[in-house]
Structure formats: C-alpha cells, structure tokens
Amino acid sequence: MNAAAAQRSWWSQAVMIGAVVALVLLPMGALGSRLGIWSFGTGFMFLGGGAVLSIIGLVGGIAGAIVSMRSGRQADRAPLAIGAAVCAGILVFLGMQFNTARSVPPIHNISTDTEEPPDFDVVTTLRGTGTNPLDYDATTLAPQQRAAYPGVVPLVLTAEPGVVFDATLDVLSSMGLEIVNSDREALAIEAVDTTFWFGFKDDVVIRLRAEGGGTRIDVRSKSRVGMGDIGANAARVRRFLDLVKAGA
C-alpha cells in the first residue's frame, strides 16, 4: 500500500468532523433552550444547522466513498462510512419528527370537553409575557381535535369525587408534573409539565364533577409557546386518563 492510500484525506476527515458537529448541535440547541441560554427559536436554528450539515455529510460521504474505492484509499473508508451513517441517522430522526408534526393538526390546546373546557386559575399568573393566549376557540379547535384525537373524551368513574381527587394528585405526581394548585372544594387541580429537551412548559388543568353517582373527569392541556405540539398535549391527556382509569 502506498503512502497516499494509507493517509486519510482532508475531505474524509471533514465528513467525519461534520457528522460529529451535526450530532452535537441537536442536544446543544435543545438543552441551551431548556437552560435559558437562548430562546427556543434559536434552539430550532441549531437543529436546522444540524440538518444542513447532515445533508452535506451524507452526500459527501457517499461521493467520497465512491472516490476512495476507485482510487484505493482504504484509510478514507472508515471515516466516510461512519460520518455518512451518523448523518443518515440524524436525517432519519429529524424526518420522523417532521412526519409526526405533519400527521397531526397544528394545535396546542387540547380538552376533553370542547364545549365547556376547564378554566385555568393559578396558571394564569405563571405563564408570563409572550405566551399563547388561554382562550379556547371551539369553532376552530374542536373539529380538528375530534378528527385527530377521537379518543380524547371525558372519563366517568364510579368512585365519588373526593376519592378521585386524591387519585388524580397521585397520578399527576407519578407523571412528573409540578402541581401548582390543588383546590379540593372546587374539585380542580392545576399542574405544569416541563419537557426534557427544550424545557417547554405545558399547563394542565383537571376538573372533577359529580355525575350519576360517580365522577366525571375533564382534562385540558395547553402549550405556553409554539403553534403545534406534535401531539404532545393529546398524548399527555390520554396517558393521564389511562393511569387514572387503571388505578380506579
């Protein structure tokens, strides 16, 4: 093997380095937003940068692999293969997220009761400026929610409200939500869920009502920022109701 074949080229190293940088940009953008170092908009720009680098790295890796095979540059094959594989993985991950976002409506306000959604109380003082308004536009939101999340409906249990109230507190705590209001007299509970990566805060309110000798549970989950939620609020509501029902 000649010296040229044994030495890695700059372009194979560039593909490898670019893949590593792209991989680092994804958690860096998200965690930087969670820690308050920059806004979530800037965090999304990091994701965009990672996507661009991944596209370049994947194309460069494939082209470089062809060149290395034709020229017998064996030293370039490993970094090119690894770099291209990392870039492909990043693009697959981001593509899955994009497809999920496209598969659900761009809404972020989910309620089991679309005619009379539960109202937030204490949460109104926590949301701060620049957050999404708390009003519920039933004309716009209800049809989209019913079409996308037909399973998001009220839950009626045979237990009396006081028992369900305690069970609700336990379930919310087990889900890792921060309970900010627990009003036993009004049978209302408010909580905040903070996402792991970006630190997005979604507000949740639970309303209990006596019905038919049992208890009707209504839940509303709403994101503080952003247009869509990739189905996160609906998933949270369904998980809560499933856990309450399982423990009933």
pLDDT in tens, 144-182: 999 999 999 999 999 999 999 999 999 999 999 999 999
Secondary structure of residue 72 in the 3-state scheme: coil
CA distances from 19 to 31, 92, 136, 223 (A): 19, 14, 43, 33
Task: For residue range 22-44, list pLDDT tens digits in order.
Answer: 999 999 999 999 999 999 899 99
Q: What percent of the chain has pLDDT over 90?
A: 85
Whole-number Å distance between alpha carbons of 31 and 20: 17
Whose CA is closest to 53, among 97, 101, 88?
A: 88
Say what the pLDDT of residue 223 is. Answer: 97
pLDDT at residue 6 greater than cutoff 80: no
Report the distance separating Cα 129 and Cα 133, nearest Å: 10
Q: Name the helix (H) or strand (E) containing 46.
A: helix 40-71
For residue 87, which of 25, 7, 11 has the smallest C-alpha distance? 25
Strand partners of residue 140: none
